Amino acid sequence: MTVRLPTAAGYVPAVHKEHEWLPRLAPALPVAVPPILARGAPGEGYPYPWSVRGWLPGETADRARIDDLPGFAVELAGFLRALRRCDTTGAPPAGEHSCYRGAAPAHYDGETRRCLAALAGRVDTDRAAAVWAAALASEWRGVPVWFHGDVASGNLLVVDGGLAAVIDFGTSGVGDPACDLVIAWTRFGGGSRRAFRAAVGADEGTWARARGWALWKALLVLAGTIDTDPERAAANERVVREVLADHEEAG
C-alpha cells in the first residue's frame, strides 16, 4: 500500500477529489490508476485528511527503460483520449484545486512575464515571448473534458517498457486538456513527439496552448535554479529550446 499525506492545506482538496473520482474514472481507463482503500482523519498532531491506496507495480518513466518511445507516446495518448471521454457530470471545473491547470494559460501571464524579465540575456526572451503570445491568443472552445493536470514522467509507471499506470490525480479536473500535453517537450522529441501529437489529436490551437504551459513551467523553474542548481537549470533550458524550435517549425 501507499499513503498520501498532504504537506500543506492547499493539497487537501486532492485527497477528497481522488477519493471521490478515481473509483469512477478507473473502469473507463486503459491502464491502472491508484485504487483508493481508505481515507484517514487528522490526528496524533497531523492536521489534514489523508488516504491509503493500493500499491501499483512499475518504475516511473523517468527511470524506466523504454526501448520504443514512439510506441510509449501512443499508449499515453490513448490514455489521455480515454480520460477525455469520461463522464464529467458533477466533476470539479478547473480552478484553484487544480492549480489552474485546465484553465487558460493567461492565469500565469504575470508570472511568465516576470520570469522573462528575470531571464533577459540568459534565454532568448524575444522568441519565448512570441511562444507565450501565441498561447494566449488561442482559446479553448470545446466542451470541457477531464484532464490529469500533471502528466509528467514521475507520474507514469512503466512495466516491460509499456505504460502500466498513471498516478497522482491531485491537479485533475474538467476544462481545457492542453495542459496534459506538456510531456511532448519534457520527455518526447522528434519521432516520439510527432507520434504523440498525431495519436492525441491536438489541433494547432491546443498545441500552441500546450507550448505555453511547457514554457511557463520551464521558465519558472529556470528562474529559480539558473544560478543555484546547474542540473535542473540545464534540463529546463533544454525544454525552452525545444518549445521555441517547435513553435518556429510550425510557422
Inside any domain, residue 29: no
Question: What is the tens place of the pLDDT at every residue in 58-113?
Answer: 999 999 999 999 999 999 999 999 999 999 999 999 999 999 999 999 999 999 99
Does residue 12 form part of some domain? Answer: no
Residue 24 lies in a domain: no
The 3-class secondary structure across 29-54, one letter per residue, is: CCCECCCEEEEECCECCECCCEEEEC
Cα–Cα distance between 98 and 96 in angstroms, integer?
5
Q: What is the CATH number of the domain that holds 69?
A: 3.90.1200.10
Range of the domain at 96: 57-249
> Would you state the pLDDT for residue 251?
75
**Assigned domain for 164 exists:** yes
H or E element, residue 146: strand 145-147
- For residue 232, being part of any structural domain is answered with yes
Residue 4's pLDDT band (boundaries 50, 70, 90)? very high
Tens of pLDDT, residue by residue over 202-230, are: 999 999 999 999 999 999 999 999 999 99
Average pLDDT over residues 173-192: 98
Q: Domain count of the chain?
A: 1
- Asked if the model's pLDDT at residue 120 lies above 90, the reply is yes
Cβ(172)–Cβ(17) below 8 Å:
yes
Share of the chain above pLDDT 70, in %: 100
**pLDDT value at position 195?**
98
Q: Is residue 211 part of a domain?
A: yes
